[in-house]
Structures are given as C-alpha cells and as structure tokens.
Amino acid sequence: MSIETQIETCSEHYKIWKNKALFSNDLYEARKAIDRAFFWMELRSAFIFLHTIEQTNGQDKKVKQSLIQAKMNLSRKLSEYMKETLKGI
C-alpha cells in the first residue's frame, strides 16, 4: 500500500470516528470514539511526516533504514490497535 493511500485511509477513519464522537448521545461511546479519532489523526500525522522525509532525504542510505524502521513501528502500532478493537467486539 502506498503511503498516499495510507494517509487517505487514516483521514477517512479519523473523520468517521470524529463524527461518531460528535454525534454520540452516550458519554462512554463518545469517549471511545474520541480515543479512536485521535489514534487515526496521530497515525496520519506520522505517515505525513515520514512521507515528507522520504521526499526530501530519501536517497540517503541511513535515512532509508530509519524510514523502514519507523514504518515497521507504525505497522506494529496499527496491529496492536486492531487487536484491541477485536477484543472489544
């Protein structure tokens, strides 16, 4: 999946959870939706940051290695989020 697609996916999920938080009548559900919206916003910001670095310094070997490590960390964070979400269902 391209980084542009990842950024767009994060944006879509953020909007969904933000709207659920704003229009929820249940305080507990609104809080849960806010937490998820912030997660997607944080992930989107991280992908944008990595994309910017990749575009400006992507040819440097050390930078490439650091970008790969950062992308692995983001993938791990997304995997943990999915595990938590599945436990909640």
At 15-28, the pLDDT tens digits run 999 999 999 999 99
Residues 6 or more apart whose CB falls under 8 angstroms from that of 35 comprise: none
Token pair in block for residue 39: 């997660």
| CA distance linking residue 17 with residue 37, whole number of Å | 5
Q: What is the pTM of this model?
A: 0.83
Total domain count, the chain: 1
* Domain extent at residue 67: 3-88
Backbone angles phi, psi at 36, to 5 degrees: -70, -40
- pLDDT tens profile 43-61: 999 999 999 998 888 788 8
Nearest to 74 by CA among 43, 37, 53: 43
